[in-house]
């Protein structure tokens, strides 16, 4: 298994030069991330007034863009915790992406995973993105979004920086469970979007994540439509095969499939669903310099 592939940056996780010093411990990096970002849906809990919530920041795609915005708001060193109004607004994907970028910046193998968590609402599997970090023997699942305030609200009975099996399912794991009938697909999603179409989208996003192309959750490409669209039988069979590959965690095979499957590979032009409206986007997917 090629863990070293995940120890270097991809196009979304390249860090700016002269970033400055920051911790090397994964948990401490996670706490650092929590002091740089504020989650869109939790913003009121941090006493942010509606007028100070900059919703446009949730569409920042790369860490280069996120950090450029961060330093524009507050030019203090990277390791300095900001007050909530000086943090960049994002979602779970931004927390995981920045966490992974900072880990990779120190040569640690880490990757973003797209899937579903059951610790925000035990009755549902909510769309969520987390970090996986290679500790030398296994992939440790970590959630850099859940800070002290959120811990107090959701009260998980486990360490969110070393999650046990069954608290988070990747898109592929959720797809396989739904297809096997062991879970109700209508319990997977977010807001008003639930079901197999949403799970299918997370399979595709997780495939991109495992190839170090971590997109926004509302980016759409390839044969899978929007999260509320039905999944035809022929596409479902293809996703069965793709999910099996992702669950195998064979990095070489996953990379080969991505490089040779134009249907699921992220193209240079995609559609971004912003407030439900399709917006064409041209991407710059060149790998960062070594």
Mean pLDDT over all residues of the chain? 95
pLDDT tens digits, 93-119: 999 999 999 999 999 999 999 999 999
- What pLDDT does residue 1 have? 59
φ, ψ of residue 10 to 5 degrees: the values are -110, -175
**Other beta carbons less than 10 A from residue 149's beta carbon:** 12
Percent of the chain with pLDDT over 70: 98
pLDDT at 255 over 90: yes
- What pLDDT does residue 68 have? 97
pLDDT tens digits, 2-26: 899 999 999 999 999 999 999 999 9
Cβ-contact 84, 47 below 8 angstroms? yes
pLDDT tens digits, 258-287: 999 999 999 999 999 998 899 999 998 876
pLDDT at 288 over 70: no
Q: What is the mean pLDDT of residues 216-223?
A: 95
Token reading at 75: 């030019």
Q: What is the mean pLDDT of residues 52-62?
A: 96
- What pLDDT does residue 226 have? 78
φ, ψ of residue 100 to 5 degrees: the values are -65, -45
- What pLDDT does residue 247 have? 98
pLDDT at 215 over 90: yes
First to last CA, the chain: 22
- What pLDDT does residue 27 have? 96
pLDDT tens digits, 128-165: 999 999 999 999 999 999 999 999 999 999 999 999 99
| 207 Ramachandran zone, left/alpha/beta (phi>0; psi -120 to 50) | alpha
pLDDT at 289 over 60: no
- What pLDDT does residue 287 have? 63
Q: What is the mean pLDDT of residues 221-236?
A: 90
Domain ranges (residues) in the chain? 3-282
Q: Which residues contact 155 (CB under 8 A, 6 or more apart)?
A: none
Alpha carbon distance 152, 146 (integer Å): 10
- What pLDDT does residue 290 have? 53
Q: What is the mean pLDDT of residues 41-63?
A: 95
Name the DSSP class of 228.
T
């Amino acid at each position: 298994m090629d863990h070293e592939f995940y120890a270097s940056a991809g196009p979304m996780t390249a860090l700016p030069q002269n970033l400055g010093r920051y911790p090397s411990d994964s948990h401490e990096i996670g706490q650092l991330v929590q002091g740089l970002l504020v989650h869109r849906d939790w913003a009121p809990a941090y006493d942010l007034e509606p007028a100070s919530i900059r919703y446009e920041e949730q569409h920042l795609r790369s860490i280069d863009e996120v950090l450029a915005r961060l330093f524009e708001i507050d030019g203090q060193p990277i390791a300095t915790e900001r007050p909530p109004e000086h943090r960049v607004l994002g979602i779970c994907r931004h927390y995981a992406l920045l966490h992974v970028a900072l880990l990779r910046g120190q040569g640690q193998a880490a990757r973003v995973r797209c899937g579903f968590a059951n610790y925000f609402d035990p009755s549902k599997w909510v769309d969520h993105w987390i970090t996986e970090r290679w500790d030398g023997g296994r992939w440790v699942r970590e959630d850099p979004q859940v800070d002290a305030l959120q811990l107090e609200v959701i009260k998980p009975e486990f360490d969110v920086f070393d999650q046990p099996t069954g608290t988070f399912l990747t898109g592929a794991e959720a797809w396989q469970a739904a297809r096997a009938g062991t879970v109700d697909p209508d319990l997977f999603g977010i807001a008003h979007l639930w079901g197999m179409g949403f799970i299918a989208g997370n399979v595709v996003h997780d495939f991109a994540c495992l190839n170090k192309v971590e997109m926004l959750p509302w980016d759409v490409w390839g044969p899978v439509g929007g999260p509320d669209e039905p999944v035809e039988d022929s596409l479902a069979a293809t996703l069965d095969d793709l999910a099996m590959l992702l669950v195998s965690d064979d990095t070489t095979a996953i990379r080969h499939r991505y490089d040779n499957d134009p249907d699921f590979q992220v193209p240079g032009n995609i559609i971004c669903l912003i407030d439900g409206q399709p917006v064409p986007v041209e991407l710059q997917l060149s790998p960062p310099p070594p």
